[in-house]
Amino acid sequence: MSNQIRFIGASRAAQLVQEEIDDASRSDAKVLITGESGVGKEVVAQLIHQQSRRGRAPLVTINCAGVPDSLLATEMFGHMRGSFTDAHRDTTGWLEKAHRGTIFMDEIGEMSLSMQSLLLRFLENGEIQRVGSERQSTQVDVRLVAATNRRLADRIATGEFREDLFYRLNVIHIDIPPLRERREDIAPLLDHFLRIFSQSHSMERPMFSQEATEQLMACDWPGNVRQLRNVAERLVVRARQGIITTADLPREVLSGPVSPNPSATLAPTRAPAEILFERMVRNGETFWTVVYEPFMARDLTRSDLRELVRHALGITRGNYKNVAQLFNVPADYKRLLNFLRKYQCHLPIQEFRAIPVEHSAAPRSFPEAVGE
Ligand SMILES: Nc1ncnc2c1ncn2[C@@H]1O[C@H](COP(=O)(O)OP(=O)(O)OP(=O)(O)O)[C@@H](O)[C@H]1O
Ligand SMILES: [Mg+2]
């Protein structure tokens, strides 16, 4: 993966994850990353490595579920020539390859008990002994980051995971919530993926109708960020001329959340911009309290602010003076414009001027870069 990865997101949860990454990067403590499949555990592991003092040394990833138990020990610790039938020469293990760097043990919950004991022994003394070696063991300097989408507590209860190993690994615990519990991250992630895929496929970046946008925001994303990424790529590749409507969205996104919980239906997900707009236009609150303050406190993203401005320009047909009126700050017209310009949220008015009166049919697209 490229060096430019970062933990993209606008939610409080994403912010917390980023803070935990920053904290973890400052030490050598072991990290356990948990979360559903596709939430970004590997991204977090990579960021910790890159940001840490070990960033220039290798990050070696081991998928514990992908390697048969019989091979895992030799892969990890290396082996000596002749130690088993196919061992034609001495081999360096993953731990040695990661010397001065980081070892990322993915799907740690799948590890067999015998492998767990080997790992535990290594964690106690930092020494490795190649399989079949008579020699003195060597010391390696690696930082361990592990991840799992399993509930390790359940596996401990059933005797499948060693509790002492769990405590060794769980020095810093980073739990990444599923995407449906941090919906504010959907827009910036989508924005990010649309940008990278339209660049890599040399395609125009697609625009979305309001309904299509709402549908993407309301989807439960059971496959989390990975699913969102795949959908974004498909939309870029398949985009025809014009605007993506709900009819163009993949079926998996259209089948809305099926929730037996009645409170979930009482709280439909609405874009932040829409809620803020209503607070100003219906409740008469001012732009400075409703938008400016949360924006400066980073509770509101640039993309939300642009969305809000876009919506207001659609209604006023590109008239910023009327936007100031709508936002209940008519006397602060200049200050409002300066603020929008300073944060690159001042949108050009031409496209809104060209729109016929029924502005509700105006196309909406996701904003350009978010919060960079
Ligand atoms: N916050 C994020 N910012 C940028 N990209 C992300 C983010 N979260 C996830 N991704 C992308 O989503 C995809 C899935 O993320 P990742 O592989 O880290 O998930 P995972 O939790 O390790 O999943 P699994 O449990 O299935 O291994 C990757 O392509 C990753 O680059
Ligand atoms: Mg993973």
Contact residues of ligand 1, CB 6 A cut-off: 5, 7-9, 35, 37-43, 149, 225-226, 229
Taking CA atoms only, the protein residue closest to ligand 1 atom 29 is: 226
Q: Which atom of ligand 1 is nearest to the CA of 149?
A: 25
Pocket test for ligand 1, best of 34, 39, 176, 221 (most atoms within 8 A of CB): 39
For residue 284, what pLDDT is reported? 79
Looking at residue 238, its pLDDT comes to: 82
Residues with CB under 5 A from ligand 2 (ion): 41-42
For ligand 1, atom 10: residue with the closest CA: 40
As a whole number of angstroms, the distance between CA 193 and CA 204 comes to: 13
**Sequential DSSP letters for 62-131:** EETTTS-HHHHHHHHHEE-TTSSTT--S-EE-HHHHTTTSEEEEETGGG--HHHHHHHHHHHHH-EE--B
Give the pLDDT of residue 18: 96
pTM assigned to the model = 0.68
DSSP E strand boundaries for the chain: 31-34, 59-63, 78-79, 91-92, 102-106, 127-128, 138-139, 143-148, 172-175, 207-208, 243-244
Could you read off the pLDDT tens digit of each residue along the chain, which spans 372 residues? 444 567 999 999 999 999 999 999 999 999 999 999 999 999 999 999 999 999 999 999 998 877 777 778 888 888 766 666 666 667 788 888 999 999 999 999 988 888 898 899 888 887 777 666 666 677 889 999 999 998 899 899 999 999 999 999 999 999 999 999 999 999 999 999 999 999 998 888 888 888 999 999 999 998 999 999 999 999 998 876 678 888 888 888 876 544 333 333 333 456 778 888 888 877 778 999 999 988 988 888 888 899 899 888 887 788 899 899 889 898 999 999 999 999 889 998 887 776 443 333 333 433 333 332
Angstrom distance (rounded) from CA 294 to CA 104:
37
Give me the count of residues in the chain. 372
**How far does residue 2's CA lie from ligand 1's centre (Å)?**
13
